[in-house]
A and B are shown apart, each in its own frame.
Chain A
Amino acid sequence: MTTKTYKTVTFKGGVHPARDGKDLSRSAAIQEAPLLDEYQVIVQQNIGAPPKLLVKKGDEVKKGQMIAEAGGFVSVPLHSPTSGKVKNIDRIPGPMGVPTDAVIITADGKDEWGELMPPLDWKNTDGATLKKRICDAGIVGMGGAAFPAHVKLSPPPDKKIDYLILNGAECEPYLTADHRLMLEETEKVLEGAAILGHALGVKNVFIGIETNKEDAIHALLDKCDAYGVGVVGLKVQYPQGAEKQLIYAVTGRKVPAGKLPMDAGCVVQNVGTAAAVTDAVKEGKPLIERITTVTGEPIKNPSNWRFRLGTPVSRAIELAGGITQEPGKIILGGPMMGFAQKSMDVTVMKNTSGILLLEKSDVIQYQSTACIRCGRCLSACPMNLLPGSLSAAIESEKFDLAAKMNVMDCIECGSCAYICPAHRPLVQHFRRAKAEIRNRSKK
Chain B
Amino acid sequence: MEEYGIYIAAFAAMAIIGAVLGCIIGIAVKIFKVEVDPRIELVTELLPGANCGGCGKAGCADFAKSVVDGENAPNKCPVASQEQVAAIAQALGVELGESMKKVAVVFCGGDKNQEKVQTLYNGVSDCISASLIAGGPKGCAYGCLGMSSCARACPFGAIEIINGLAVVHPNLCVGCGKCVDTCPRDLIKLVPVDAKVHIYCSSPEKGAVKMKVCSVPCIACRKCVKAAEEGQFDVKGFLVGVNYDAEKLPEADIVEKAKCPTGCLLTADKHVKIEESEKKDKGEAA
Contacts and interface: CB of A to CB of B under 8 A. Distances in A.
> Are A and B part of the same complex?
yes
A428 B118 contact: no
A365 B134 contact: no
Interface in B97-152: 118-120, 122-124, 126, 128-129, 132-135, 139, 141
Interface string B264-279: 0000000000000000
Interface residues of A, number: 21
B156 to A, nearest CB: 19
A96 B126 contact: no
A99 B128 CA distance: 18
B119 A429 contact: no
A428 B134 contact: no
Given A91-B205, A97-B134, A99-B141, A365 B129 contact: no
Contacts of A367: 122
Chain B residues touching A, majority SS? loop
A97 B135 contact: yes
Interface stretch (A8-16, A58-66, A122-130, A337-345): A337-345
Contacts of B122: 365-368
A201 interface: no
Given A97-B141, A342-B118, A425-B123, A432 B135 contact: no
A230 B84 CA distance: 78
Nearest to B128: A432
Contacts of B209: 91, 99
A91 B133 CA distance: 19
A99 B118 CA distance: 14
B141 A428 contact: no
Contact of B129 (A97, A340, A342, A431): A431
Interface string A341-370: 111000000000000000000000111100
A98 interface: yes
A99 B205 contact: yes
B119 A98 contact: no
A429 B124 CA distance: 7
B124 A98 contact: no
B132 A342 contact: no
**B: interface residue count bin:** 10 to 19
B84 to A, nearest CB: 32
A91 B122 CA distance: 27
Residue of B123, B128, B133, B205 ringed by the most chain A CB atoms within 10 A: B133
A432 B123 CA distance: 12
A404 B132 CA distance: 22
Contacts of B132: 428, 431-432, 435
Contacts of B128: 432, 435-436
Contacts of A91: 205, 209
Contacts of B139: 342
B118 A431 contact: no
B11 to A, nearest CB: 55
Interface in A322-348: 339-343
A342 B133 CA distance: 11
A425 B135 contact: no
B134 A342 contact: yes
Contacts of A429: 124, 129
Contacts of A368: 122
A339 B134 contact: yes
Contacts of A341: 134
7 closest A-B pairs by CB: A97-B134, A97-B135, A432-B129, A98-B141, A342-B118, A365-B122, A431-B132
26 contacts: A96-B135, A97-B133, A97-B135, A98-B135, A99-B141, A99-B209, A339-B133, A339-B134, A340-B119, A340-B133, A340-B134, A341-B134, A342-B118, A342-B119, A343-B118, A365-B120, A367-B122, A368-B122, A428-B123, A428-B129, A431-B129, A431-B132, A432-B124, A432-B126, A432-B128, A432-B129
Given A431-B129, A431-B133, 15 more contacts: A97-B133, A99-B141, A339-B134, A340-B134, A342-B119, A343-B118, A365-B120, A367-B122, A425-B124, A428-B124, A428-B129, A429-B124, A432-B124, A432-B126, A436-B128
